Amino acid sequence: MYIRVSEIPGGGLDLFASRGKASILRVLEGMDPAPFRELRLVDADLLLTVEGGDVWIEGSFEARGEGFCDRCSDPVTLPFGKAFQTILTPKSRDRAVAASVELHEEDLDVGYYDGKGVETNDILWEQVALDLPQTLVCSEACRGVCPVCGKNRNREACSCTAGDAPGPFDILKNLKGEKE
């Protein structure tokens, strides 16, 4: 949703409260959810206030990603989320001003906008993207799939040793053999 700065009232704009919570579901549409296959925004809050031309953004989100474990390929569902604060300062603004904002508020993200309005989906997506895991595992302790016999080592112990590691074709043969 594109919000003009002139639309933001003095008391601030509670975006999803005023536009309807249903719009949350569509915020991440068209975004690349990797390493997840699917990513859903379950809940989000975004409060926009304007102060001296700067847009202060206070928000939080709850998301739910679905995908497959990098090590054992089992399905994984991972809820994640966080609260965040960002200040967007007009691009044209004197750099010294932005720097002073940065000095005062070390915990805040400081970004820029064109001075006219902000795209709230981009703001949320950026926060979600920063929080996406690098890799997806079903658990930190996941032992993965044995490269020799193809068994899921979380469920079944095998007696293979790393020295037996075959080429990819042997693994394929083994996998086929198990299915037939």
Alpha carbon dihedral 101, 102, 103, 105, in 10-degree steps, equals 80
| C-beta of 47 vs 146, nearer to Zn ion | 146
Spatial CA neighbour of 110 closest among 156, 170, 55, 49? 55
Instruction: Give the x/- contact pattern for Zn ion in 2-41, rule: CB under 5 A.
Output: ----------------------------------------
Minimum distance from CB of 178 to Zn ion (Å)?
12
> How far apart are alpha carbons 93 and 30 in whole angstroms?
32
Per CB under 5 A, which region of 49-57, 59-67, 99-107, 158-166 contacts Zn ion? 158-166
| C-beta of 3 vs 149, nearer to Zn ion | 149
Spatial CA neighbour of 6 closest among 117, 86, 168, 132? 117
Minimum distance from CB of 142 to Zn ion (Å)?
3
Minimum distance from CB of 118 to Zn ion (Å)?
39
Quickly tell me which residue has 């490269």 as its tokens.
147
Determine contact, residues 109/86, Cβ cutoff 8 Å.
Answer: yes
Minimum distance from CB of 157 to Zn ion (Å)?
9
Q: Which of residues 35-74 bind Zn ion (CB under 5 A)?
A: 69, 71-72
> How far apart are alpha carbons 58 and 120 in whole angstroms?
12
Using CB under 5 A, list all residues that contact Zn ion. 69, 71-72, 138, 142, 146, 148-149, 158, 160
